[in-house]
Structure 1
């Protein structure tokens, strides 16, 4: 990894002698782009609250005739409290070993004697800047590892299925993964949108850099910026230490924003700003931090809901949906149900210490008929309950599923097409799905003769 440019280091020089401040600026500006000077130490508290610095050059004696350094040590304590990440270099014209040792004991990084040697001053500041930079990167890596550890024990299931709908989706995943294009994954709750996001990451160039998921639906507006962009110590009541946000820890890898459609418009505006500039600023900081993430988002909102400006910003939508992938509901991939059920049965048998289990044919038939409003997640929970309750190696569904399945979820009115031909096609598809391809029962439900249904299927291209 290329070392960050030290020119971006932020320096603060505090001295009541303006000639000293000018001299420091002349020497240091050739190597550092951001130098702030302060000739009134009383303003230091306000300045450190408002701005972030990497290195602080601090005089030890401000009052006339002072030589013992008590003032400098007092202001050093202030700097350590308000800017714990900054490296403080103390300056004095009255140097001795005891003063230097006392300064180090109070937390100073180094000590410079005035009048200074220019080469020595530059070397001291450069070393402190590198130290601050290394500490910042270490904290970012620690925050990154903390996020990874928090998700290490989460259940991860592979994608199972051979249905045409799933195969088509996975083929699209393979094409999209090789790029850095933003991807929006849509689909009902429980269809496995995060699994698709992880599949994109595993096949991408960023697969070795980490996958970081954020449940946007769980973020309150007050925690939104802190969670995504991070915060400085003291930025708010519970900010007890500097913390990197998810954009920062995911830099170089993939950031998955789940349930992005649940964000309020005010929060969407802040997210848009980060995506547009590819930089974030921690809460309580004035330092912009560049980030490099591959963004994958997911939502259960429909196309109509996403297209409603009162619900979702259209400029943000254009940023996140370079490619849109729709995950089909389980009722549209019923051929995958036996494979999924068998996989979950094996998984939970191992988890709960049971012998290898199989599902009897009658149970499989009932699973295939079930409408699964909760999709794959609901199927997984049903199989888990069956495994826990079963006392036999052959799994049955007695007492787990009701005798009669609930009606399949009806499309919401706003999702229905207005074109009559499209409505007729949709009605035929729903009837065939409900009756598992039984043409006689589908025709009866539609109020058509079997031959008429054949003709309409051919006209609409329904197989």
Structure 2
């Protein structure tokens, strides 16, 4: 753009050169480029390059024509080439009747000849802003589609034959085709996001996007902007309009991951948006309707989730029309070897490694291991084993079980009174909290009085 103009390009199509000159002079400070055409054919050719923000199109071109037939024809041709085009019709005859018909056929707005300069400027500015907003929506939907890309081959959803997994399959079969909100419970690594993707894939919204939001990773000061969007100038860094995740998911599915980590004072804002099925972007005063199906997930146990001091019960009721509780891997040990076989096969192919035997004694130890990190930890252990193992058979050491995570959540031994080293004391306390809560980061951090980020830093510091 030139001279700091608000918008990029405007095309004006009219058979009257005086109208073209007048409109160009009026709009030149609003656009970086204002191109004028007496011939609609030339205007269409100019659209093949940079798409304009706004097109001003005359309703009548032939001498004596008053029925706007030509304008409607060229309107259709413009929309055929660019369905998202923003067209403002210029009418001199027929008044409101032609204007209404033009908008039925896809025009965004209209102005009447002779026009008021203030009216024309306001109409064109609003139309250009609409074009920018549409482009932002398209951009957000593409980003959401990328986020919602199909799960990789190695991420086979809920692989297993145990009765508990069969029950989960049954719940998915019954809940997916409905519009019911679903709450997925389970420890870290049990596959909550995979269940959400499967619910979306089998739903009536499968052709639209699945937008994921990790509420545990959204900063409190960005919560409203991230979920509801904002308008230009709403705050210091708001250099343009931006739609939020809820609006990006319109027509599809919204997956609220780690919903249990949403601070209590922000929960009413989410509840209001879901109840009213609309959002108000930060800095705006007009609500935007949304049509989303909500799937939420949390690793909070039911007793913590039902604590009013941690989670609003009216929001919980809104989210858990259907509740799916994923079992930890230690409660479906009959699936462990099936999962090991799947991931070993996947990573052997990925890294070009030979097929290795899994001796019975190694298999028995893998089955007896408690896998506090659940399927995620098993997958990582299988990948390491494929990379590190010898050429013939796997050993227990290849899976690095002792370093994957601790075994059962038993209390850590107390620090000997004679050892007053602060670093060692901190390590023991952090390790004890992690073991107590089976390496559930949220719960361990809460007990230690730390944020999740602070706990991760201490885990890294001490090699936990």
For the superposition of Structure 1 and Structure 2, which TM-score range results when normalised by the shorter chain?
0.5 to 0.7
Q: Taking structure 2 as the reference length, what is the TM-score of the superposition?
A: 0.63
Query: What are the Cα deviations for residues 346-393 of structure 1, in whole angstroms up to 9, with x where unaligned?
Result: 121222232334433222111101011111111111111111112315
Partner in structure 1 of residue 420 of structure 2: none
Task: Name the CA distance, whole Å, in 1 between partners of 2:167 and 2:20.
Answer: 74
CA contact (8 A) 1:169 1:325 kept: yes
Residue 245 (structure 2) pairs with residue 322 (structure 1): no
1:51-450 equivalent positions in 2, closer than 5 A = 81=6, 97-107=20-30, 109=54, 110=56, 118-119=95-96, 126-127=109-110, 133=130, 135-150=132-147, 152=149, 155=152, 156-398=155-397, 400-402=400-402, 406-409=406-409
Task: Name the CA distance, whole Å, in 1 between partners of 2:283 and 2:182.
Answer: 31
The alignment partner of 2:353 has SS state of coil
Task: Name the CA distance, whole Å, in 1 between partners of 2:360 and 2:293.
Answer: 44
How many angstroms does 1:172 deviate by? 1.1
CA contact (8 A) 2:184 2:324 kept: yes
Partner in structure 2 of residue 447 of structure 1: none
CA contact (8 A) 1:345 1:358 kept: no
Query: What are the Cα deviations for residues 71-127 of structure 1, in whole angstroms up to 9, with x where unaligned?
Result: xxxxxx99x64xx69x999xxxxx765442233433365599x99764588768725
CA contact (8 A) 1:330 1:376 kept: yes
How many angstroms does 1:405 deviate by? 9.2
Task: Name the CA distance, whole Å, in 2 between partners of 1:241 and 1:368.
Answer: 54
The alignment partner of 2:197 has SS state of helix
The alignment partner of 2:402 has SS state of coil
Query: What are the Cα deviations for residues 282-322 of structure 1, in whole angstroms up to 9, with x where unaligned?
Result: 11222211111110000111111111111001111110011
Change (3 A) 1:292 1:373: same
Task: Name the CA distance, whole Å, in 2 between partners of 1:317 and 1:215.
Answer: 17
Task: Name the CA distance, whole Å, in 1 between partners of 2:405 and 2:219.
Answer: 37
Query: What are the Cα deviations for residues 310-349 of structure 1, in whole angstroms up to 9, with x where unaligned?
Result: 1001111110011111000000000000010111111212
Task: Name the CA distance, whole Å, in 1 between partners of 2:134 and 2:193.
Answer: 29
The alignment partner of 2:196 has SS state of helix
Change (3 A) 1:358 1:234: farther
Change (3 A) 1:169 1:269: same
Query: What are the Cα deviations for residues 390-426 of structure 1, in whole angstroms up to 9, with x where unaligned?
Result: 2315322225123999552379xxxxxxxxxxxxxxx
CA contact (8 A) 2:215 2:257 kept: yes
Change (3 A) 1:382 1:339: same
Task: Name the CA distance, whole Å, in 2 between partners of 1:311 and 1:405.
Answer: 28
What are structure 1's unaligned runs of at least 5 residues? 1-76, 90-94, 412-463
Task: Name the CA distance, whole Å, in 1 between partners of 2:204 and 2:19.
Answer: 56
How many angstroms does 1:216 deviate by? 0.7
Task: Name the CA distance, whole Å, in 1 between partners of 2:391 and 2:351.
Answer: 14
Task: Name the CA distance, whole Å, in 1 between partners of 2:358 and 2:237.
Answer: 51
Q: Taking structure 1 as the reference length, what is the TM-score of the superposition?
A: 0.63
CA contact (8 A) 1:371 1:405 kept: no
Task: Name the CA distance, whole Å, in 1 between partners of 2:403 and 2:174.
Answer: 43
Change (3 A) 1:291 1:404: closer
Q: Which moved more, 1:122-131 or 1:203-212?
A: 122-131
Partner in structure 1 of residue 118 of structure 2: none
What are structure 2's unaligned runs of at least 5 residues? 13-17, 32-53, 58-87, 111-123, 412-464
Change (3 A) 1:221 1:227: same
The alignment partner of 1:147 has SS state of helix
Change (3 A) 1:97 1:199: closer
Aligned residues: 328
The alignment partner of 1:395 has SS state of coil
Task: Name the CA distance, whole Å, in 2 between partners of 1:364 and 1:267.
Answer: 47
How many angstroms does 1:131 deviate by? 7.0
CA contact (8 A) 2:230 2:244 kept: yes
Q: Choose 1 or 2 for highest CA Rg.
A: 1
